[in-house]
């Protein structure tokens, strides 16, 4: 059992409340990187309960990054993690411990034991309040909804669609970044000026930093999106009650359909899986929050997200500034174009190329561009990892609706009454992938 003790201390708050340290046996305490200066600068009273929830999400991500997954025992994947968390009102949180543990186990594939105790040093105490008061430049926040803004293609499409559907309303974008992970912040900042130009005065973006001040041990980032959700809730809490928090993600990725046994469970992202969203919304209700997380693209493939976007000309002008890669932070030794923004051979990149082709968008450059068959042979294209071959095998497989449903259900609970919608989504995904694979002569 990996036991993590969490302690808050009175230091200069760096605009984020008291300093937070994570302690485990045999190592020096690690400082949590929790910078919410953008939210601290909002010209409105600070919602401490929502701020504490954002801190909780950042804390879980910090614990996830702190502990090495390959510990040399057990199955060398599943960790047992016990975390004792100081909060303002432990009784408020203790009633949700079971929901939290279920949610985190589903998200990371680990066994979590969560306990709460009374804080000795308030996270948002007098030092934090004085810091907020002394800010000279404060920001107003207005909006009818919050959308998580990762800098990915689905993310930008969701923002465009919401703004087009609600032409008289404004939208708040909530972002986070980890300085020791891939540079999502740069992706967001490439897109933001163009969004502001296309939709002047209708967008405001708030960003927070998360992770550990040092790099940490685990490199799978399974819980990173939890920090986006925490900051989304914090942003929504400034807007009022019953605010929607949008997490735009195409259904094929969200459902996390296991293309092969190696891609089941927590080996792929699960933050937007319907079961996780249900557990997360349950947690919000238990803690007394009225906001709700929604995925507007739950039953769309990525190609359908692009093809149905309500501002085609704008999306076509900016989509190449977004990044959908799942392995951009890894070694580029096998990349043909080492200056590309994305690898081209991971599952998200493959889904993106198929989507771009099906929606008749212009082809993009990738680190490994599989369609460039005049320069690279098939063996070179398939060499970096098994993801492309896995997709080829998935498309070639003869699988019926019931088999698809069983695979989906084995990877996470889904409502039976929506079986036909989920199965049809995977059928359409296969069609989308098949069209692209055939066009690049891989079928």
Q: pLDDT band for 75, please (50, 70, 90 cuts).
A: low
Contact (CB, 8 A) for 305 and 150: no
- Separation of alpha carbons 71 and 67, rounded Å: 9
Residue with the bigger pLDDT between 318 and 180: it is 318
Is the pLDDT assigned to residue 25 strictly greater than 50?
yes
- Separation of alpha carbons 349 and 228, rounded Å: 22
Q: Which two tokens stand for residue 324?
A: 């959908």
Q: pLDDT band for 13, please (50, 70, 90 cuts).
A: low
The per-residue pLDDT for 376 is 47
- Separation of alpha carbons 228 and 293, rounded Å: 11
Mean pLDDT of 273-281: 96
How many CB atoms within 10 Å of residue 354?
26
Dihedral pair phi/psi, residue 204, rounded to 5°: -130, 140
- Angle at which helix 387-396 crosses helix 419-439, to 10 degrees, equals 110
Residue pLDDT, tens place only, 226-270: 999 999 999 999 999 999 999 999 999 999 888 876 555 444 568
Contact (CB, 8 A) for 272 and 92: no
- Separation of alpha carbons 271 and 421, rounded Å: 20
- Separation of alpha carbons 265 and 324, rounded Å: 20
- Separation of alpha carbons 247 and 148, rounded Å: 5
How many CB atoms within 10 Å of residue 419?
16
Is the pLDDT assigned to residue 149 strictly greater than 80?
yes
């Amino acid at each position: 059992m990996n036991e993590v003790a969490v302690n808050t201390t009175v230091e200069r708050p760096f605009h984020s409340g008291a300093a937070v340290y994570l302690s485990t046996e045999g190592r020096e305490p690690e400082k949590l990187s929790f910078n919410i200066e953008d939210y601290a600068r909002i010209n409105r009273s600070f919602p401490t309960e929502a701020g504490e929830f954002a801190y909780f999400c950042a804390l879980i991500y910090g614990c996830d990054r702190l502990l090495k997954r390959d510990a040399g025992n057990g199955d060398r994947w599943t960790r047992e993690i016990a975390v004792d968390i100081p909060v303002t009102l432990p009784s408020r949180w203790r009633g949700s411990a079971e929901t939290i543990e279920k949610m985190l186990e589903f998200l990371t594939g680990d066994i979590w034991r969560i306990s709460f105790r009374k804080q000795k040093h308030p996270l948002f105490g007098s030092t934090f309040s004085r810091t907020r008061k002394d800010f000279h430049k404060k920001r107003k926040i207005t909006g009818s909804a919050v959308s998580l803004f990762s800098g990915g293609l689905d993310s930008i499409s969701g923002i465009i669609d919401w703004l087009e559907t609600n032409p008289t309303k404004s939208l708040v974008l909530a972002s986070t970044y980890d300085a020791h992970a891939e540079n999502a912040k740069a992706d967001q900042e490439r897109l933001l000026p163009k969004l502001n130009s296309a939709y002047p005065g209708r967008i405001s973006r708030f960003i927070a930093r998360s992770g550990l001040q040092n790099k940490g041990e685990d490199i799978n980032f399974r819980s990173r999106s939890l920090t986006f959700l925490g900051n989304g809730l914090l942003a929504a809490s400034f807007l009022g009650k019953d605010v929607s928090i949008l997490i735009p993600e195409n259904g094929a990725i969200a459902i996390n359909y296991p293309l092969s046994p190696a891609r089941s469970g927590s080996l792929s992202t699960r933050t937007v899986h319907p079961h996780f969203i249900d557990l997360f919304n349950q947690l919000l209700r238990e803690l007394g929050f009225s906001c709700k997380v929604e995925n507007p693209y739950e039953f769309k493939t990525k190609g359908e997200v692009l093809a149905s976007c309500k501002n085609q000309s704008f999306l076509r002008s900016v989509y190449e500034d977004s990044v959908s890669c799942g392995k951009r932070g890894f070694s580029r030794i096998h990349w043909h174009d080492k200056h590309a923004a994305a690898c081209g051979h991971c599952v998200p990149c493959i889904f993106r190329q198929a989507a771009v082709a099906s929606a008749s968008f212009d082809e993009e450059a990738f680190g490994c561009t599989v369609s460039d068959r005049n320069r690279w042979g098939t063996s070179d294209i398939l060499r970096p990892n098994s993801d492309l071959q896995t997709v080829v095998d998935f498309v070639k497989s003869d699988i019926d609706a019931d088999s698809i449903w069983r695979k989906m259900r084995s990877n996470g609970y889904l409502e039976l009454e929506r079986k036909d919608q989920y199965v049809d989504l995977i059928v359409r995904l296969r069609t989308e992938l098949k069209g692209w694979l055939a066009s690049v002569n891989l079928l």
